[in-house]
Structures are given as structure tokens and as C-alpha cells.
Amino acid sequence: VESMSREQRSLPPEAARLVYRSLLRACGNGTRPEVLPVNSSAVDIASLPRKPREVVAALRQVPVEPFAALRHAAERARALHPAAGTLPPSLPAFILPSHQLLPGEAADFVFFEPRYKRMASLVLGLDRASPAADLRYAHLPEGAEAAVGTLASITGHQVLPDGRVAVRVLAGPRCEVSAARHEPMAAADNATVAPLLHVTCTFVADAPPADAAADAALARSCLEQLASLAQLSLTEVPPLLSAERLSFWLCHNILRNDEMWLRLHWLRSRSTADRLAFVRGALDKAAAARGGRGQSESA
């Protein structure tokens, strides 16, 4: 392909075409740009693609190391867009009321409770008796049936000298608990140790939009407004071509970790339009506050 990067052009033609086609497949032929890396955090938001064919054109021109980009895209595609039928029948669950992840959000945690060290062993395949590493678990605000959380994937980990496990995770689609069981944990000195919860989940999506074009336009407008108010440091492309996914991306960029009620409310909401209306209101309020400070300083 004439417009491939220098690294891609240095590959044998067949290998270059294979890498390019694999990247296209990972990003859904341009429909899922959020799996792709960006080369620089200094990105002009207004110039980002608006259509799949623009994503494909940009993909051909981005000067990235091809195999590193392919690994990155494949990892994010598996986490953010799991293929139908690949969800395990049962997932270990991490219950964390104080920090509920929204779809597309990355975070770092340290597992230290016995149940969560057991979860890490299962998910990462650290124990010889464990099945092959699946890398995924259910990240939930509570363990009750019908709880809504996210399917989280561990993208990096380190077993610390004291046995704790530090992880980097990426939250994928929403999931709702349909069944649960507890795995008792062994404890020394008759201490009480919380059991590990295993859950069966189904994926959750927003209701069909009343006006998809209006939602898409509002999502893009909110993205550009956010960029005008804050210095965005982008390591991945935002989910530009899905109003639902972009609404969550916007939410986790404007909500603090401790704003639990809002995080849970919008995680459970099935309306993209309502979520975007909330984002617009929050951004308008931030813009007004900035304008007020500017007037005070100039007075």
C-alpha cells in the first residue's frame, strides 16, 4: 500500500499487507477507531475522523511500528469489543463500590485480599491448576443479582514480593449479573475471610435511539467542547463513531472517581441521549465558570 508507514514499507509486501489487513479487522474496517493508538498526545480533535473510510485513510498514513500497533489493537479490540459467544459461562467478580469503571476506562489496582489474589490467579493463569488465562473479570459495584458493572480485562500485571498483585485494567462493555455463587476462601487461625464471588453475566446496551443522527452530532459537539476546555492527553483514539461509547468516554473524562452516584446512574442508564445531555450540561457549567473567572481577573 503506497501510503503505509516507513516501517510497514520495510516489510516484505506479503507481511505488510497481512499487518494492514489485521489492523483493519481489529478496528472493524474503520468503525471502531478506539482500538488504535495515537502517535502524539497533541491531537487536533476537530480533525479526527467522522466516517469509517476516514479512519482507514488515517490508518494508512499513521507512522507506527506495525507489529506493536497490531498487538495494541488486538488487545484493545478483545477488551472493548469481545466477539459474540466468547464470554465465559462464569466470571470471578471484583466488588469495588468506591470506584466503578465506565466502558472504555483504564485504571490501576492492587489486589491484596485473599479472594482477589485468588481471582488474579484464576484470571491470569498464575496457578498451575488454573485454566488458561482469560484475563477478564466482572468489575461490579455490588454483588447482588441484577447488578450492572463492566467486563474488565487485565492488560498488565506484576506479582509483588509480598504476594499482592498490581494490575492495569481496561473496562469493556457493560454486563448485568444474572446468577452468582460464592467460592469459600481458606483462612488461617479461624479468621473470617470473604468468599470470592463468581457471576454469570449478560451484556447490556442502550435502547435504540429516537434520533441517531442527533445523538451523533451532540456527541461530537461535546467532544470538541471538552477539548476546548481541557488539555486532553490522548493515548488512544476516542470512540468517535458510536454515540453510546463516546458518551461513556466523555463521562469518565469529566467525572471524578469518587462521584459514585453519577457513575452508577449513567452506567445503568439505557439512554445515550440522556447521558449526552448530562455531559452537555456539565460542560456548559464548566464553560460558564471559566468565563466568570476570566471576567473577575480582568476587572
Q: What is the predicted pLDDT for the residue at 295?
A: 55
Same domain, 98 and 164: yes
Q: What is the predicted pLDDT for the residue at 65?
A: 76
Question: What domain count does the chain have?
Answer: 3
Q: What is the predicted pLDDT for the residue at 39?
A: 63
What distance in Å separates the CA atoms of residue 9 and residue 3, rounded to the nearest whole number? Answer: 9
Predicted structure pTM score: 0.89
Judge whether 131 lies within some domain: yes
Q: What is the predicted pLDDT for the residue at 69?
A: 83
Q: What is the predicted pLDDT for the residue at 4?
A: 45
What distance in Å separates the CA atoms of residue 40 and residue 29, rounded to the nearest whole number? Answer: 23
Same domain, 118 and 136: yes
Same domain, 124 and 176: yes
The residue among 47, 80, 113 that closes a domain is: 80
Q: What is the predicted pLDDT for the residue at 172?
A: 98
What distance in Å separates the CA atoms of residue 126 and residue 221, rounded to the nearest whole number? Answer: 45
Judge whether 251 lies within some domain: yes
- Span 111-156, pLDDT tens digits: 999 999 999 999 999 877 666 789 999 999 988 788 999 999 999 9
Judge whether 1 lies within some domain: no
Q: What share of the chain is helix, strand, coil (3-state, %, to 5)?
A: 45, 20, 40
Same domain, 17 and 70: yes
Q: Which residues are within 8 A (CB) of 12 and not within 5 positions of it... i.e. 6 or more apart?
A: none
Same domain, 100 and 145: yes
The residue among 57, 80, 103 that closes a domain is: 80
Same domain, 246 and 165: no
Same domain, 106 and 165: yes
Judge whether 291 lies within some domain: yes
Q: What is the predicted pLDDT for the residue at 1?
A: 29
Q: What is the predicted pLDDT for the residue at 63?
A: 47
Judge whether 85 lies within some domain: no
Q: What is the predicted pLDDT for the residue at 96?
A: 92
- Closest-CA residue to 175 (of 121, 207, 137): 137
Judge whether 86 lies within some domain: no
The residue among 51, 80, 109 that closes a domain is: 80
- What is the residue range of 132's domain? 91-203
Q: What is the predicted pLDDT for the residue at 64?
A: 57
Residues of the chain below pLDDT 70: 1-11, 39-43, 61-64, 129-131, 188-190, 292-299
Q: What is the predicted pLDDT for the residue at 115?
A: 95
Q: Which residues are within 8 A (CB) of 162 and not within 5 positions of it... i.e. 6 or more apart?
A: none
